[in-house]
Amino acid sequence: MPLRSHDMDFHGSERRWLPWLGKTGKLAMRWSCLLNAGQTAQVEKTFNGLARSRVELLEN
């Protein structure tokens, strides 16, 4: 299964509203991306599984 996370990159206008500092700021998000760079496939697989489970629960 190819990774789709590369297709979901923020564009310039979407990136501008993020603050520089804080728990969800640009610096914190960048640091998180650097620390978790090797886990991208596993994280994406986990989130896809969660999303699939939610869809199944909503459909039933």
| pLDDT for res 53 | 95
User: pTM of the full predicted structure?
Assistant: 0.48
Domain ranges of the chain: 20-59
- On whether the CB atoms of residues 5 and 40 are closer than 8 A, the answer is yes
pLDDT band at 57 (very low <50, low <70, confident <90, very high): very high
pLDDT at 1 over 60: no
CB-hemisphere CA count at 13 Å for 46? 5
pLDDT digits (tens, 9 = 90+) for 6-56: 666 667 776 677 777 888 788 888 888 888 888 888 888 999 999 999 999
Longest distance between any two alpha carbons in the chain, whole Å: 42
Rounded CA separation 27/24 (Å):
8
